[in-house]
A and B are shown apart, each in its own frame.
Chain A
Amino acid sequence: MIEAIKLGKKFKDVEAVKDASFTVKKGEIVGLLGENGAGKTTTLRMLATMLRPTSGTALINGHSIIENPREVRREIGILFGGEVGLYDRLTARENIEYFAKLNSMNDHDMKASIEELVFKFNMEEYIDRKVGKFSRGMKQKVAISRSIVHRPSIMLYDEPTAGLDVTATKIVNDFILECRQQNKAIIFSSHSMQEVEKLCDRIIIIHKGSIIDSGTIEYFKEKYQSDNMEDLFIRLVGDK
């Protein structure tokens, strides 16, 4: 479970995130919806212990991101979109192993987990090839595998389908839905309304660092009397 309590981050004079409070339960996908620069990535980075909050805190399965960052990191899997940050000169297996080892997995569990992932994502053909020449889709599969090799119970997705073609996007989206079936707590950041509508159980709309509203898709449609999430979003952030 993720519990953000008045989470805030200031970069000099700029307040990137202000008093963000929300919860994400097990088996739930919560969409973090906002324009570029709204504070989505900063929020996720704080939850992932990559950034230290300037105010507030968050609990990841009961572990504080400030006091127990190491424990928190073991609980979470992170997947970013765009450049996925794999090491081109390492093979797919070496990339996945590297992150498994960083998460203190023992050799036996790591090998078993990697074999499962290779089978699951049909990576048999290229698991021992260097990542540098992979297609975006292949890289994304490796990135997904890397993010879950240590079997985290919480997943943070930051625009994971950015720049991907239809097939690769489907792989990622199917995987996110599968994570929900596995009872993981999931935060999914995006600026694509269709994706959010399709995947998320609840939505948090963030604008200029502040949460302006949150609830289910039905809640938004009813409250703002609109069936079109895109129009609704523009109306919401436009008003602010």
Chain B
Amino acid sequence: MNIISIVYKKELIDIFRDKKTLVAAILIPFLIYPLIFGFMGKGIKDTTDFIEEEGGVKIALIDDDNSEIGNILKSRSNIDIKDSDNIADDVKSGKILLGIEIPQGFQEKIANEEETNITITYDNTSQKSSMALSFIKELLDEYSKGIVAHRLEARDMDATILTPIDTITKSPDRDDTGVGKLMLSLILPMMLVIFAASGPIASAVDLCA
């Protein structure tokens, strides 16, 4: 047996006979980490769930033209339209998650195939506000694609030429546990590396000494 394996064997015996090391390095991490990641997953899920709730996305909408997109937003059950005198302040204070301003002449410009814009005010320090922004952007993208499709149809062109690939996503796991498991899959390899590295540190120090 060479010296390294003799020292290593002795170190392993020494480590595994130390109850404190066993509890601190093995037992506690195996009990605590699943709990921590479970809570983290639940916390993340809570910050995304509000989008699905009835009236969960509280926004202020300025739409003097009574535009089509404005009506779409009003018709969504998960969007709650609130009045706001000062959108920036209300977003900052959390009274509303977003402020959406549709300019005058918006609908007309769409009809005339001119370029136009929508201004969205959000709080980049708030996770909920950022999530709401993503949700609204998705709606606007969908609406925008609908307009493009309509314009292409008017020119006797098939709208599917713009989306040659349709991606279908599926997950074998339930949505409510998936996030926690994702976190665990990200952290677990790191923890294994730390465990693998921290175990032989005492032996390594002994060998070098």
Contacts and interface: CB of A to CB of B under 8 A. Distances in A.
Nearest to B14: A89
A89 B1 contact: no
Interface in B8-43: 10, 13-14, 17-18
A130 B16 CA distance: 14
A87 B10 contact: yes
Interface residues of A, number: 8
Contacts of B6: 98, 101-102
Given A101-B1, A102-B3, A89 B10 contact: no
A102 B13 CA distance: 16
A90 interface: yes
B204 to A, nearest CB: 16
Contacts, number: 20
Contacts of B1: 101
A89 B13 CA distance: 8
20 contacts: A87-B10, A87-B14, A89-B13, A89-B14, A89-B17, A89-B18, A90-B10, A90-B13, A90-B14, A90-B17, A94-B10, A94-B13, A98-B6, A98-B10, A101-B1, A101-B6, A102-B3, A102-B6, A102-B7, A130-B17
Nearest to A100: B6
Q: What 4 A-B pairs are tightest by C-beta distance, nearest first?
A: A89-B17, A101-B6, A98-B10, A89-B14
Interface in A88-102: 89-90, 94, 98, 101-102
Contacts of A102: 3, 6-7
A94 B3 CA distance: 15
Nearest to B3: A102
A130 to B, nearest CB: 8
Interface of B: 1, 3, 6-7, 10, 13-14, 17-18
Interface of A: 87, 89-90, 94, 98, 101-102, 130
A233 B80 CA distance: 97
A102 B10 CA distance: 11
Q: Which of A89, A94, A102, A130: most chain B CB closer than 10 A?
A: A89
A130 B14 CA distance: 11
A105 B13 CA distance: 20
A102 B6 CA distance: 7
Contacts of B13: 89-90, 94
A87 B14 CA distance: 8
A87 B10 CA distance: 9
Contacts of A101: 1, 6
A87 B13 CA distance: 10
A102 B17 CA distance: 21
Nearest to A98: B10
Contacts of A98: 6, 10
Nearest to A87: B14
A101 B17 CA distance: 21
A90 B1 CA distance: 19
A186 B149 CA distance: 99
A154 to B, nearest CB: 21
A98 B10 CA distance: 7
Contacts of B3: 102
Contacts of B14: 87, 89-90
B28 to A, nearest CB: 20
Nearest to A95: B10
A94 B1 CA distance: 16
A87 B203 CA distance: 13
Contacts of A94: 10, 13
A130 B17 CA distance: 10
